[in-house]
Amino acid sequence: MSASTDDPHVFPSLNPTTSLPATWRQQAHDAAIATVRTLGTILLGSLLPAFIFGLWWLAADRHWIAEQILPSPAFVWESLNIVLDSGELQGHVLVSAKRVAWSLLIGGGAGLALGFGMGLSRRFKAYVFPTFDVLAQLPVLGWIPLLIIFVGIEEGLKVTAVSIAVTVPMALNTLSGIANIPKALLEVGRVYQFSAFQTLSRIVLPATVPSLFTGLRQGVMQAWLSVIFVELLSSSEGLGFFMAYSRSLSQIDMVIVAMLAIGVVGIAIELTLRLIESRLQGWRRSAF
């Protein structure tokens, strides 16, 4: 008995479109749509910077504003290449980044300890939160005079002031994350007789990951902005000092270079945190 080549049960179709599972085709379609949306978002987001750059270039080219006040983009680009070739800009960025790293370690650790302490212990919260809530209303600028008295104007001032700026968002977001844990999850832990460590590692930490990363993002950005501000006031190195020193010499091109460096580093930090958060989402889902 011979079989016809048109019989789909014996000779399945070789068309790659029909041979692919429906889920694969749907995933490819969704990926294409996501790519188009991403490109559209990038295009729309680049319109305003392009307009500002075009206006800047036109104003400098037509001499609407004196070059001493607003240097041309070409002059700023030349200045950027000069400080990059000499390594001066990289040195200032490294100094500011080290201060931020130490502040995140100190302030972030203190914020996590305070947040978990107030979130897991009602008695600790009753003692600490009223005072913490009052002190959290003070901006970093309000701490500077007091810190100068106790730690001086050297490196300790920068790290301590920035650490305070990091502690507040980390503590508040950690406390909020613990307070918003569904009671059903904690009840499941009691039913399965989880130990304190199991409850913390398999329920509390996974449930608070979004809030922790919100606090970390806010803390990092607060640290980056605060370290620039403190360096503007009292420092002999760092991006803030580089900006203030350039302004004192009326080198507006270098001021703009410092501003661009601050923005680029801030964006790099934000993208890095997003990448880390996306990688940890899988751990968070599997922990429950």
Check which CATH number belongs to the domain holding 97 and give it.
Answer: 1.10.3720.10
Query: Do 201 and 275 belong together in one domain?
Result: yes
Give residue-wise pLDDT tens across range 228-260: 988 888 788 889 999 999 988 888 999 999 999
Segment among 57-66, 94-103, 123-132, 258-267 with least mean pLDDT:
57-66
Q: Residue 2 falls within a domain, yes or no?
A: no
Percent of the chain with pLDDT over 70: 89
Q: Which domain holds residue 25?
A: 16-61
Confidence label for 27 from pLDDT (cuts 50, 70 and 90): confident
Residue 47: pLDDT over 90: no
Q: What's this model's pTM, rounded to 2 decimal places?
A: 0.75
What average pLDDT does the segment 108-133 reach? 90
Residue 7: pLDDT over 60: no
What average pLDDT does the segment 59-73 reach? 84
Residue 258: its pLDDT value, please?
92
Residue 281: its pLDDT value, please?
62
Please name the amino acid found at residue 59: A
Confidence label for 4 from pLDDT (cuts 50, 70 and 90): low
Counted domains in the chain: 2
Query: Do 108 and 240 belong together in one domain?
Result: yes
Query: Do 89 and 202 belong together in one domain?
Result: yes
Segment among 158-162, 199-203, 216-220 with least mean pLDDT:
199-203
Look at residues 261, 220, 222, 263 and name the one whose alpha carbon lies nearest to residue 239: 261
Distance between terminal CA atoms of the chain? Answer: 58
Query: Do 173 and 267 belong together in one domain?
Result: yes
Query: Do 36 and 126 belong together in one domain?
Result: no
Query: Do 151 and 202 belong together in one domain?
Result: yes
Q: Residue 201 falls within a domain, yes or no?
A: yes
Q: Residue 25 falls within a domain, yes or no?
A: yes
Q: Residue 66 falls within a domain, yes or no?
A: no
